Structure 1
Amino acid sequence: MSQYQAPIEDICFNLFDVWHLNDYWQQQSELQQQLDTDTAKAIVEEAAKICEQQIAPFSMLADHQGVTLQGTEVTVPAHYHAAYQSLCEGGWTGLSGDVAYGGMGMPKALSMMVDEMLCSADIAFSLYPGLTAGACVALLQHASEDIKSVYLPKLYSGEWSATMCLTESHAGTDLGIMRTTAKPQDDGSYKLNGSKIFITAGEHDLTSNIVHLVLAKLPDAPAGSRGISLFIVPKYLPANTNTNNGTVRNGVAVGSIEHKMGINGSATCVLNFDNAVGYLIGQPNRGLACMFTMMNYERLSMGSQGLGAAERAYQNALAYAKDRLQGRETEKDASKAEPIIVHADVRRMLLNIKAMNEAGRTFGTWVASLLDKAKYDNCQQSAAIANLLTPVTKAFMTDQGFSACVTAQQVFGGHGYIKEWGMEQLVRDARIAQIYEGTNGIQALDFMQRKVIADQGKVLSALLATIRSEINSHTFTHSTVLLTYITKVEQILALLLTQDSRSQNGNAYDFLNLVSYILYGYMWYKTSLALDGNKHSANFIAAKTETATYFYQRILPKADGYVAILQQSPTVMDNIAIDQF
């Protein structure tokens, strides 16, 4: 059976020692009265208890039970109800919510740690509060005060949940060709008609109401993505003393549930809108920009999914490798077998996961802290860097998360393919994170065109220059290696800026990976600087130091392969005719 113990020590190390966020929080008037180091640690520890005790032990059961559809009602795994209620009672569903509407007002860097633990415990379960949190961000930024005052308190409390409805059967990434319509009514509302697919938590029995954020087109909307508007469409219309008591069912219903490769405890639905009453969020024909507020939040959560799955996979593979007796690497007695962790190839697999997981946690904390600084300080530089790194967080962290799960499964050998060990479920569950919220190929295109080429690489170049200056100001064992790779990235960037868009798109995925490996190298630099013998045990410091060395010697050189690829012309992929594939 798969086990999980929250990595509290490493989480606190990143929050307080690497990024010194406890000091930053105390500088913010919104946080200093309610959040100090002890309080933050207590929040992490209490979240860990729920994840370890109420969710993680039953994730395999949830995968087996899945969700069921009877008529128009969807039932989730039975134990989800108690676990969800614990989240609501503890305020976890509104952890980073605005205090003006009942949220706890905690920073993103702290809530992201809780996200990781929830994903380690059960990715499918994490999606129910996760989608709601993302919807709240969109509503907070774009909805009218009337809508915010009605919906946000219920969503933060967990009494209601939320979804986002984008995809249609014929329109995935190309949202501009969607067919869902919204017709204005005399009372200021709209009537929505159409169908959406792949709607996470689209229908379930965890909450008394489900609030859908729906993209649709007005009758006079411009063609393409410029003609998309955003609407809020509740399952039950909120109470109004003149019209209803909050129990009037809206014209939205589940058509079917998807039978998926993984995350079986998550209700992924087809939703049909039949004259459903909705209300406009933001400006007409500006819905995509409003929805991207939510999608960007969810893309950061995807990074947490990748890391969360990888962390649990690593813990179980490590325990198995220490316990499983097989072969003799150092033992001379032919009658005695040794634990497989002594074997060089097993150590290679475990160290690959460990080094990437720990760098990923440092990276995720960094991106979240940049979002906090953009929010609390209105820091445009932090916002620009966070915007640059959002597709990296989504694509690279989920790619690495899936790779870690497959590698950890490999440590188990044949047992990893058997359900009772839980490894095959982690592989299945982690796979979706590379696909939804924009496939990782789409993330690479976004990174290349919207984040790098659009400003001629200014934000990326400035970030690399800052990292170089920081490394030059401190003594660091691997400084020369990391500085060399930064120069290589700058040279590739200069080359990409001279290419046409087709070539840039062909290079996008490899360039994202190249930049990601160098940024993970920077994470190990930040980690090494934070090691302090007065705060940490000798074993903790030695483990971090040796893992950093492993990263620089055995993982970072992979970046050379991407450099070599990016130096070649990508036009070769267009030399093959379609009928030659």
Structure 2
Amino acid sequence: MPEYKAPLRDMQFVMQELLDCETHYQNLGYEDATPDMVSAIMAEAGKFTEEVIAPINQSGDEQGCKWEDGVVTTPDGFKEAYQQYVEGGWPTLSQPVEHGGQGLPHSINTAIGEFLSAANHSFAMYPGLSHGALATLEAHGSDEQKAMFMPKLVDGTWTGTMCLTEPHCGTDLGMLRTKAELNDDGSYSLTGTKIFISAGEHDLSDNIVHIVIARVPGSPEGTKGISLFVVPKFNVTADGEVADRNGVNCGSIEHKMGIHANATCVINFDGAKGYLIGEVNRGLNCMFTFMNAARLGVANEGVAAADAAFQGSLAYAQDRLQMRSLTGAKNPNGPADPIIVHPDVRRMLLTQKSIAEGGRALNGYLAQLVDIVEAEKDPAKRAEAESKLALLTPIAKAFLTELGLECTSHGVQVFGGHGFIKEWGMEQLMRDTKISCLYEGTTGIQALDLLARKILGSKGEMIKPFAAEVTQFCTENVTDEQMSEFVKPMITIAPNWQKMTQEIGMKAMQNPDEIGAASVDYLMYSGYLTLAYFWAKMAKVAFTQLAEGTEDKAFYEAKIKTARFYFARILPRAQGHAACIENGAASMMAHDEEEFLF
């Protein structure tokens, strides 16, 4: 199993040099979030993930979770590791002070989330879902609900889940059947079954708080009749203490492709007592708070997978001896050269490296936008941040998970036959990562959200704030000779983004299927362009540091070389997606159903 090392130096580069977190935090009033404090937190988080969380990753996969009569037992070491996680105060970092949190910025927690997910995807999901539950209660819950549930969710004594999907409805939540009937005391009784509930039952925490969508009798059909409820595993007193068992039970756990150490549950609600969050029939609006937080978390999983795959692949490629270099022996005293000398191995390693580091920059940027939405006093600045988040969230979620999965495939390939063997850990990484392409809406769903609902739905307005930022960067650096190799391709590609959007909109007026046919290619095109922007920005920082005579010369030179690889070997993929979009829906929709058989 590859040994995980938290990428502390690169995280410092992204947070402090690329994104200037010091100025960012001071502008938002986070006085305690100094560079020294951020570095100290990252160092401790790195140590914790390396020494406590990573060592139980492979054993957790082998043992998996066990279900017996509604009780789920996590693999050996998970309960102890979670206890250390809670005792270390990690759940409280970015939570409100009034509910027992430390009040630090969301972006610090995002960085730590990457470490956790890369070290042990299954473990990271147990506390990870609690953040979405907390965000939902904080944004939409009543004062009484916050007092009942938030303190123990904040300190990690309790964990949270999101209960959306049902056996018959999948992504089409308007088909849900779970019902919520009003009780005399103002609470509701929920009855129904939810499936695919990650961390829905386990032995890590004293209580599990489910955020559940259901339909109140008499509500409209479809998504307009969805309401949102908070439903605890154990009932809770007004002062937040555990009482008797609620009508919530785990009917079974799924036998899955990966993340075996995280319990994916069938949860049955049998007259379970719950509390309405927000207004009746406004549940989906409230639920998007949880879903958007979860989508950003899943984007982080994609980057984590790419980095973990890169770390394992690099160590193996430096050690494994196979054949001689085409340009002559590089290890003349050995029987063969290490495989890192071979161009195709380097292609895979640099793909992993460029996606992991570029994705880390994108996720760091998105996390700072969340900071602005949460803490900025200026409404105009908040609105701009919200607009950029709305645009980039589906891109980051789908693009980074698809490429994260690709990077894990490269990991298996670098190891050759050994990559297909369990003991090396690369096949587990690939199995664990595939789910990230499905969580919180598949790649196709994210693509439709981006193109149909956000871009075309806003008549192109939503693209403008981020496009203006990219254009400004290009304008400021177009005369910089060092930056021309990065700026010129973007000047060519960026205008095509808006032109392509207009052309899809025109085609869709004649045939709505053009939107569905173009959407995934459109999202991937957008993703490659977005990552190019962040690689160009990273190259700019590296050139500046080298010009100032940095002592860390090798780090910055490697950053520039990786940027060149991205622009030379990864960004050209965007043109293939553009060609697919231009070719339209005709070839996709030409077959009659029976013709698929031939």
Same fold, TM-score > 0.5, yes or no:
yes
- Quote the Cα distance in structure 2 between the aligned partners of 1:453 and 1:535: 46
Residue 256 of structure 1 aligns with an amino acid whose one-letter code is: S
- Quote the Cα distance in structure 1 between the aligned partners of 2:404 and 2:551: 27
Residue 138 of structure 1 aligns with an amino acid whose one-letter code is: T
Structure 2 residue 549 is matched with structure 1 residue 561: no
Match of 1:477 among 481, 484, 487: 484
User: Equivalent residue of 1:213, what SS?
Assistant: strand
Match of 1:318 among 309, 314, 317: 314
Match of 1:546 in 2: 561
Structure 2 residue 66 is matched with structure 1 residue 68: yes
- Quote the Cα distance in structure 2 between the aligned partners of 1:285 and 1:247: 29
Structure 2 residue 523 is matched with structure 1 residue 512: yes
Deviation of 1:469 after TM superposition, in Å, equals 2.1
Task: Tell me if the contact between 1:94 and 1:133 (Cα under 8 Å) persists in the aligned partners.
Answer: no
- Quote the Cα distance in structure 1 between the aligned partners of 2:140 and 2:130: 15
Deviation of 1:152 after TM superposition, in Å, equals 0.5
The 5 A counterparts of 1:159-558 are 159-239=157-237, 246-329=242-325, 330-332=327-329, 336-377=335-376, 378=379, 379-474=382-477, 475=480, 476-478=483-485, 479-500=487-508, 501-531=512-542, 532-533=545-546, 534-535=549-550, 537-558=552-573
Q: Any gaps of 5 or more consecutive residues in structure 2? A: none
- Quote the Cα distance in structure 2 between the aligned partners of 1:86 and 1:364: 27
- RMSD over aligned CA atoms reads 1.5
Match of 1:52 among 40, 50, 53: 50
- Quote the Cα distance in structure 2 between the aligned partners of 1:359 and 1:416: 25
Deviation of 1:334 after TM superposition, in Å, equals 11
Task: Tell me if the contact between 1:109 and 1:369 (Cα under 8 Å) persists in the aligned partners.
Answer: yes
Deviation of 1:554 after TM superposition, in Å, equals 1.2
Deviation of 1:454 after TM superposition, in Å, equals 0.9
- Quote the Cα distance in structure 1 between the aligned partners of 2:333 and 2:149: 69
Residue 302 of structure 1 aligns with an amino acid whose one-letter code is: V
For residues 35-78 of structure 1, give each alpha carbon's deviation from its aligned partner in whole angstroms, at most 9, with x where no partner exists: 10000111111111110000112200000111111212111112
For residues 458-494 of structure 1, give each alpha carbon's deviation from its aligned partner in whole angstroms, at most 9, with x where no partner exists: 1213422331222111221321111111122222122
Match of 1:121 in 2: 119
- Quote the Cα distance in structure 2 between the aligned partners of 1:89 and 1:359: 33
Residue 550 of structure 1 aligns with an amino acid whose one-letter code is: F
- Quote the Cα distance in structure 2 between the aligned partners of 1:409 and 1:84: 30
- Quote the Cα distance in structure 2 between the aligned partners of 1:470 and 1:163: 40
Deviation of 1:239 after TM superposition, in Å, equals 2.9
User: Equivalent residue of 1:477, what SS?
Assistant: helix
- Quote the Cα distance in structure 1 between the aligned partners of 2:534 and 2:148: 42
Query: Paired residues, what number?
Result: 577
- Quote the Cα distance in structure 2 between the aligned partners of 1:125 and 1:185: 37
Which deviates further from its counterpart, 388-397 or 533-542? 533-542
Task: Tell me if the contact between 1:370 and 1:386 (Cα under 8 Å) persists in the aligned partners.
Answer: yes
- Quote the Cα distance in structure 2 between the aligned partners of 1:80 and 1:245: 25
Deviation of 1:369 after TM superposition, in Å, equals 0.9
Task: Tell me if the contact between 1:65 and 1:77 (Cα under 8 Å) persists in the aligned partners.
Answer: yes
Deviation of 1:536 after TM superposition, in Å, equals 5.5
Task: Tell me if the contact between 1:40 and 1:110 (Cα under 8 Å) persists in the aligned partners.
Answer: yes
Task: Tell me if the contact between 2:303 and 2:355 (Cα under 8 Å) persists in the aligned partners.
Answer: no
Q: Any gaps of 5 or more consecutive residues in structure 1? A: none
- Quote the Cα distance in structure 1 between the aligned partners of 2:135 and 2:392: 19
- Quote the Cα distance in structure 1 between the aligned partners of 2:200 and 2:119: 22
For residues 99-158 of structure 1, give each alpha carbon's deviation from its aligned partner in whole angstroms, at most 9, with x where no partner exists: 111112222221111110000011110011001111000000000000101110000111
Residue 473 of structure 2 aligns with an amino acid whose one-letter code is: E
Residue 556 of structure 1 aligns with an amino acid whose one-letter code is: L
Q: Percent of aligned pairs with the same residue?
A: 42
Residue 11 of structure 2 aligns with an amino acid whose one-letter code is: I
Deviation of 1:225 after TM superposition, in Å, equals 0.6
For residues 407-426 of structure 1, give each alpha carbon's deviation from its aligned partner in whole angstroms, at most 9, with x where no partner exists: 11100000000111000000
- Quote the Cα distance in structure 2 between the aligned partners of 1:335 and 1:124: 40
Task: Tell me if the contact between 2:517 and 2:584 (Cα under 8 Å) persists in the aligned partners.
Answer: no
User: Equivalent residue of 1:230, what SS?
Assistant: strand
- Quote the Cα distance in structure 1 between the aligned partners of 2:551 and 2:13: 9
Deviation of 1:246 after TM superposition, in Å, equals 2.7
Distance 1:334 1:535, change over 3 A: closer
Distance 1:142 1:407, change over 3 A: same
User: Equivalent residue of 1:259, what SS?
Assistant: coil
User: Equivalent residue of 1:237, what SS?
Assistant: strand
Residue 61 of structure 1 aligns with an amino acid whose one-letter code is: S
User: Equivalent residue of 1:372, what SS?
Assistant: helix
- Quote the Cα distance in structure 2 between the aligned partners of 1:235 and 1:164: 13
- Quote the Cα distance in structure 2 between the aligned partners of 1:239 and 1:488: 58
- Quote the Cα distance in structure 2 between the aligned partners of 1:246 and 1:111: 28
Which deviates further from its counterpart, 533-542 or 517-526? 533-542
Task: Tell me if the contact between 2:209 and 2:233 (Cα under 8 Å) persists in the aligned partners.
Answer: yes
For residues 287-309 of structure 1, give each alpha carbon's deviation from its aligned partner in whole angstroms, at most 9, with x where no partner exists: 11111110110000001111111
Residue 21 of structure 2 aligns with an amino acid whose one-letter code is: L
For residues 541-567 of structure 1, give each alpha carbon's deviation from its aligned partner in whole angstroms, at most 9, with x where no partner exists: 110011111111111111111111111
- Quote the Cα distance in structure 1 between the aligned partners of 2:307 and 2:335: 31
Residue 484 of structure 2 aligns with an amino acid whose one-letter code is: T
User: Equivalent residue of 2:213, what SS?
Assistant: strand
Deviation of 1:529 after TM superposition, in Å, equals 1.6
User: Equivalent residue of 1:567, what SS?
Assistant: helix
**What TM-score results when the alignment is normalised by the length of structure 1?**
0.97
Residue 274 of structure 1 aligns with an amino acid whose one-letter code is: D
Residue 210 of structure 2 aligns with an amino acid whose one-letter code is: H
Distance 1:566 1:207, change over 3 A: same
Task: Tell me if the contact between 1:67 and 1:74 (Cα under 8 Å) persists in the aligned partners.
Answer: yes
Task: Tell me if the contact between 1:328 and 1:334 (Cα under 8 Å) persists in the aligned partners.
Answer: no
User: Equivalent residue of 2:169, what SS?
Assistant: coil
- Quote the Cα distance in structure 2 between the aligned partners of 1:465 and 1:566: 24
Q: Which runs of 4+ in 1 moved over 2 A?
A: 244-247, 330-336, 533-536
Residue 505 of structure 2 aligns with an amino acid whose one-letter code is: L
Which deviates further from its counterpart, 182-191 or 559-568? 559-568
For residues 251-286 of structure 1, give each alpha carbon's deviation from its aligned partner in whole angstroms, at most 9, with x where no partner exists: 010100111000001011101111111110110011
- Quote the Cα distance in structure 2 between the aligned partners of 1:149 and 1:304: 30
- Quote the Cα distance in structure 2 between the aligned partners of 1:335 and 1:39: 46
Structure 2 residue 585 is matched with structure 1 residue 570: yes
For residues 179-215 of structure 1, give each alpha carbon's deviation from its aligned partner in whole angstroms, at most 9, with x where no partner exists: 1000001100111111111111111110111111111
Task: Tell me if the contact between 2:394 and 2:447 (Cα under 8 Å) persists in the aligned partners.
Answer: yes
